[in-house]
Structure 1
């Protein structure tokens, strides 16, 4: 994760992710199992993650997840990842949350579980709609 220069205070990086008090102010869609809001939710969530420099916690554009090198970097990465995971959980309905929550999960693992639920069902949903 690269933190922009204007986010640094006293030469210590302070990611803007920690300034978010309520993710629902920015991602107003609650994603549920019975909704077709997945694409909208993804668009809002990824845009917000990108604006806060944490997109790499949910989407790995190069197919290779970044691994922190130092212990300090690892601790910061895990804290940011836990924050992004909380954002995901806060924007899910209770039924979907119960389906995707797993102990010791990363934000990317949760993101991928949600993607699999909705994208695996797209083909069967399309057939149902056609009938």
Structure 2
């Protein structure tokens, strides 16, 4: 493998790829094509993936130089393997997906890997992922915790963009611990939004209050009118 560079912009930082960075990589920006039955799409798809593997030091995961069974107890290795599988599933056409996934788990697996939070709450999103994963396990398709975690974070909506980048700070993250963390962040974001809304409402109310009218000037005296001088004070009593 290539040696690290002093001014390396690679987020994996060195020879050993970081499992969290692999998980959070947007594969659609790196492989902007879906593999289908045409040979032309295969060449482009393969070229893009080769670039990704070389750029992010992932060749050992795909070239057969390391026995994956020997790395089964390495959590980072297993997490990266799960992310690579998700990449493949997300970048192939439904026809090809059908050939590599059993007939009975075809639709369920596509729904699982294509699951996104959208406007759902974190609770509803996590429950939907858990239900799909349970259905896959029932038909014999293994869904590891690393794959659950990778799919969970990849499908978060844009409100959680900054939160997702902080997940790498969690020690030994699991699907359950990350889901709990996301629930806390969701509650915090709701409090911030409510506070901003209240402040904007209060500011709008203060701007809409009726202001007292300015004092009106006295009307001018009519022409030819001269006010009498004030009366002299009364003399003191004897």
How far did 1:58 drift?
1.7
Cα offset, 1:68, TM superposition = 2.4
Q: 1:75 to 1:2 in 2, by over 3 A?
A: farther
- TM-score, normalization by structure 1: 0.57
* Matched residues, number: 94
**Aligned ranges 1:54-73 → 2 under 5 Å:** 54-60=58-64, 62=65, 65=67, 67-68=70-71, 71=73
- Stretches of structure 2 that go unaligned for 5 or more consecutive residues are 103-140, 144-238
In the alignment, the residues of structure 1 paired with residue 67 and residue 58 of structure 2 have an alpha-carbon distance, to the nearest angstrom, of 13
Residue aligning to 1:75: 75
Equivalent runs, 1:1-131 vs 2, <5 Å: 7=12, 14-15=18-19, 16-20=21-25, 22-33=26-37, 35-36=38-39, 37-60=41-64, 62=65, 65=67, 67-68=70-71, 71=73, 74-101=74-101, 103-104=141-142
Say which structure, 1 or 2, has more relative contact order (CA 8 Å, 6+ apart): 1
The answer on whether the counterparts of 1:17 and 1:54 sit within 8 Å (CA) in structure 2 is no
Q: Please say which structure displays the higher CA radius of gyration.
A: 2
**CA distance in structure 2 between the partners assigned to 1:29 and 1:49 by the alignment:** 16
Distance 1:65 1:50 in 2: 19
Output the TM-score relative to the length of structure 2: 0.34
Q: Cα distance 1:18–1:3, how it changes in 2: closer, same or farther (>3 A)?
A: farther
Are the structure 2 counterparts of residues 84 and 4 from structure 1 closer, same or farther at C-alpha, using a change threshold of 3 Å? farther
Q: Where does structure 1 lack aligned partners over 5 or more consecutive residues?
A: 106-131
Q: RMSD between aligned alpha carbons?
A: 3.2
1:70-114 CA distance string (max 9 Å, x none): x3xx22111110001101111100111111136349xxxxxxxxx
